[in-house]
Structure 1
Amino acid sequence: MRATIEVNDVRKRFGSTVALDGMSFTVEPGQVTGFVGPNGAGKSTTMRVILGLDAADSGSALIGGRPYRSLRSPLLHVGALLDAGALQPSRSARNHLLWLAHSQGLTAGRVDEVIERAGLGQVARRKAGGFSLGMRQRLGIAAALLGDPPVIILDEPFNGLDPDGIVWMREFLGELAGQGRAVLVSSHLMSELQDTAAHVVVVGRGRVIADTSVARLLAEVSGDRVTLRSTAPQEAARVLEQAGATVAAVDRDTLTVSGLPAERVVTLLGRYAVPFSEVTAHRATLEEAYMNLTRNAVEYRATTGQESAR
């Protein structure tokens, strides 16, 4: 069931607006890949190109080595949720899934399976038009799972979920990746991706800014920064600066130390009998890393009134 998503040097313009400018990355099976960037960075356009909804001007986007348009029964190859509102509001949740299932040769039994898996059992026969955004997200997830595909693509799946729903989504995405699926998830909620994604692709201005593991990215941003609390801050600063650190005062008894790991700071202070009450290594968040990387990745603005980058 293993398959990859491969985006290779994809370029796309809408009139005078460059939406994708050589977008390239791979989503590997067996992990959740976060797909993040500012508004207008090209995330939604990239997803639409992968799914054959927009045609690339050049480059390729492949699912399991094949373009989407060549897939027979595509729900068996890739499941996607791009717009939770893309449904007929007068249909019940179950009927919405039934017509999708029938179009792919899938059974009503499979519909009932995904309804339960998405937590929709009690509302399956209610009209979808009355659903909250969170419930529509779950219905979209159920639709994406219908064909039991090896590839899952979700655009902002955490939107509209209550705290219980967010916990469910985290666990659910981890379960999908644990089954060997390639899972691509865009989100503006960095805290949720930090707890969910093993890999992250950061984009801006239609290009990839970073394509790395979440752990490696956080380590790079964290650096060797340490917070130190001491009743002898001047003595502590002198000892650490002599060892090559850069030290800055935060307040009367707190210092920020750069250039030495926390273990080395503790060793030096102990060797010179400098009192301290706290030595804490800085742990960057994915949001902090994201802000650092995308600081100059401003949103595109169309100049001719044509469709802007999405």
Structure 2
Amino acid sequence: MEATIEVRDLRKRYGATLAVDGLSFVVPPGRVTGFVGPNGSGKSTTMRALLGLDVPDSGSALIGGRPYRSLRHPLNHVGALLDAAAVHPARTARDHLLWLTHSHGLPRRRVDEVIELVGLPSAARRPAGGFSLGMRQRLGIAAALLGDPPVVVFDEPVNGLDPEGIRWIRGFLRSLAAEGRAVLVSSHLMSELEDTADHLLVIGRGRLLADIGVRELLDTASGGWITVRTSRRTEAMTLLAGEGARVAAVDRDTLTVAGLPAERVAATLAAHDVPVRELAAHRASLEEAYMELTRKSTEFTSLTGREA
């Protein structure tokens, strides 16, 4: 089965509320794709439609070219974690996984394999009701991987994890993508996606705002500005403006420069013996880029070049 998620012209309305409005995107294999947007943007509805929990009014949400409800053994095709609390509290972690393997005709050995994979061997025979949120997240990820699926969909997998767990999930998600799987991850923690995702899907009001690589989005948000600190501010401004840069004074010894690469700024000032205490390209964080993008969502402008 092809490791691809494909959403085409998806629409879903709940009464008077239009939750998803003509949403289209593709999640290919081999990369981690972050799925982000403000509360109420349509992320949960989209994932529920993808996993057969909601029926779209129109359009399609396909896994490997097929709707979820047509998959005879879904765990062999897609692993999903939408709610880490969706486990019987009196059932042990191992029994929970054994029940899932039995229901899908999977080999029992997969239970111990995924327990080891997510770091739960010491807790495998404990009732899940006593688990912390982070442990329940690990159990949910173990369940999602029982069928060794080519597609994985995780909603907020970092919730409840301690720093060690967060470091683990970063590497784990990237390893899944490196194995050729399509990995779709919804998260509100932009700092985690910045270190994990290769690509972002940003939605607002049920529409696509951006389908863009993380590096490309950061470069766009950074704006190409360079900060220069020098004791000869006026002279530096004159020299750089003469080279075609846009220069603005921030304080008595700090400038912001746009329109010239950092290497040319440095070379121009060095050629005239202008001392430089700092020369640094402005680098926006993913959180800054995301906030700016979603702030404009009311304009319905998409970075894909189409009206969102």
What interval of TM-score do these two structures reach, taking the shorter chain for normalisation? over 0.9
TM-score using structure 1 length: 0.94
The Cα of 1:2 is off from its aligned counterpart by 4.4
Contact kept in structure 1, 2:2 and 2:65, CA below 8 Å: no
- 1:1-310 matched pairs, under 5 angstroms: 2-297=2-297
Letter aligned with residue 148 of structure 1: D
Contact kept in structure 1, 2:209 and 2:297, CA below 8 Å: no
Contact kept in structure 1, 2:33 and 2:183, CA below 8 Å: yes
Q: Secondary structure at the match of 2:264?
A: helix
Give the equivalent residue in structure 1 for 2:304. Answer: none
Superposition misfits of 4+ residues, deviation over 6 angstroms? none
The Cα of 1:119 is off from its aligned counterpart by 0.6
The superposition leaves residues 268-298 of structure 1 with CA deviations (integer Å, 9 ceiling, x where unpaired) of: 2122332212111112221111111101337
Letter aligned with residue 268 of structure 1: T
Say what the alpha-carbon RMSD is for the aligned residues: 1.1
The Cα of 1:9 is off from its aligned counterpart by 0.8
Contact kept in structure 2, 1:2 and 1:182, CA below 8 Å: no
Contact kept in structure 2, 1:224 and 1:262, CA below 8 Å: no
Number of positions where the alignment pairs a residue of Structure 1 with one of Structure 2: 298
The Cα of 1:250 is off from its aligned counterpart by 2.2
Segment of structure 1 superposing worse, 156-165 or 239-248 = 239-248
TM-score using structure 2 length: 0.94
Contact kept in structure 1, 2:27 and 2:182, CA below 8 Å: yes
Contact kept in structure 2, 1:115 and 1:124, CA below 8 Å: yes
Segment of structure 1 superposing worse, 211-220 or 18-27 = 211-220
Segment of structure 1 superposing worse, 191-200 or 271-280 = 271-280
The Cα of 1:173 is off from its aligned counterpart by 0.4
- Structure 1 unaligned regions, length at least 5: 299-310
In the alignment, the residues of structure 1 paired with residue 2 and residue 141 of structure 2 have an alpha-carbon distance, to the nearest angstrom, of: 20
- Structure 2 unaligned regions, length at least 5: 299-308
In the alignment, the residues of structure 1 paired with residue 218 and residue 294 of structure 2 have an alpha-carbon distance, to the nearest angstrom, of: 15
Contact kept in structure 2, 1:239 and 1:269, CA below 8 Å: yes
In the alignment, the residues of structure 2 paired with residue 284 and residue 138 of structure 1 have an alpha-carbon distance, to the nearest angstrom, of: 32
Identity %: 68
Higher relative contact order (CA 8 A, sep 6+): 1
